[in-house]
Amino acid sequence: MATEAVGEVIPNLDYASVMQPIAGNAGGKNLLSMRQLDHGDIHGYISEAYAIERVIQDPRQRGVSLLPFVVLKAVMRQPSTRTAGSMVTAINKLGGTADLISGMTSSSEAKGESLADSWIAFATQADIIGTRTAEDNGPMYAARVIAEAASQDQLWQNVPVINLGDGRNEHPTQALGDLFTVHKEFDKLEDLKIVIVGDHERYRAHHSLMIGAATVGMSVVAVESKTAPVPHEYVDSLGDQLTITPDLDAAMSDADILYIGRNPDEYTGEEKAEKRRSKKLAKDYESWVVDLDRIQQMSPDAIVLHPRPRRNELHPSVDSDPRMRDVQQMENMIPMRMAIIAKHLGKSISGSLN
């Protein structure tokens, strides 16, 4: 396997074997895609996050020793402050520790090591791995390489892999945190209308959220421009639960949740077509700017989410509006990522196996 992948070129393999359905038991499994989760699974993560939040927001506790001596290796191949930081805080508040590896390549790869060999090396030093990759399926590849080595008894244990964002594909831990934020507001997920606006083609947080929202029975409205349409696979799999419209104002007027994501143009490449696309998309974003005026048309009970960092698309004038939940959304990532780490190592704060 070592020769199949060099650097960040991810081979086009079948990753189904490492993307098992959670089906009520996350212990020992990878979290790679929201497609692994059914309705009950999503509520399971949310229940756990509520229980954990009560503990960490109690100043006499601030954490819980669920995972002593557990080492999380967080391998961030794309820059990240927020996700990396929340994973570090999450494992520390579970009594474990983090080893954060940032940068495009490790020193081992600089020494000429294959990507597969690097993943095996990381797995020998960790109890659980979280990773962000520039390429689609990077975490899936890691999970497959590790599972194979474990099945051949080269590794004494399989090491679960958590996808912290892979290329233009998915960002499931973000989506679970987002759904937790929604649940805290409405005390349910079902039958809510969520409007998602932004770069649907490439922004991975949108993809995972669309799958998750549809799984729990939300009505999903994607406000789309021609430059960055919802990919066919999402249109196909969401079916009736997805509506597509070009009209943001019409869509948001009766929404329960407005979700706007950043224009991820720092990932724009150097090719001419890429730059042309980027220019067009910037124009789209100008028409989507969410400011204090614009959100007044929403119900006072509606909420507005944004998976920070924000730029111009979310104007600071909104900060005082009671509909804003974007800061809480960041905070909610801590208990949710704690819930994810715990559950995928077979633990839960209630003391029983999940």
∠ CA 308-311-314 to the nearest 5 degrees? 80
Residue nearer to its own copies on the CB measure, 136 or 291: 291
Q: What is the rounded distance in angstroms from the CA atom of residue 198 to the CA atom of residue 285?
A: 7
Q: What is the rounded distance in angstroms from the CA atom of residue 178 to the CA atom of residue 337?
A: 11
Contact yes or no for 208/171 (Cβ under 8 A): yes
Cβ at position 3, least distance to its own copies in Å: 5
Contact yes or no for 46/180 (Cβ under 8 A): yes
Contact yes or no for 335/46 (Cβ under 8 A): no
Cβ at position 100, least distance to its own copies in Å: 8
Residues that bind its own copies (CB under 8 A): 1-3, 56-57, 59, 61-65, 68-71, 73, 79-82, 85-86, 88-89, 92-93, 95-97, 99, 101, 106-108, 110-114, 117-118, 120-122, 124-127, 149, 152, 154-157, 262, 266, 308-311, 316, 319-320, 324, 327-328, 330-331, 333-334
Residue nearer to its own copies on the CB measure, 19 or 167: 167
Q: What is the rounded distance in angstroms from the CA atom of residue 354 to the CA atom of residue 350?
A: 9
Cβ at position 119, least distance to its own copies in Å: 11
Structure tokens at 317: 């004038």
Cβ at position 347, least distance to its own copies in Å: 10
Cβ at position 248, least distance to its own copies in Å: 21
Residue nearer to its own copies on the CB measure, 112 or 239: 112
Residue nearer to its own copies on the CB measure, 60 or 272: 60
Query: Measuring CA to CA, how many Å separate 167 from each of 14, 69, 160?
Result: 18, 31, 20
Q: What is the rounded distance in angstroms from the CA atom of residue 265 to the CA atom of residue 277?
A: 10
Residue nearer to its own copies on the CB measure, 38 or 148: 148
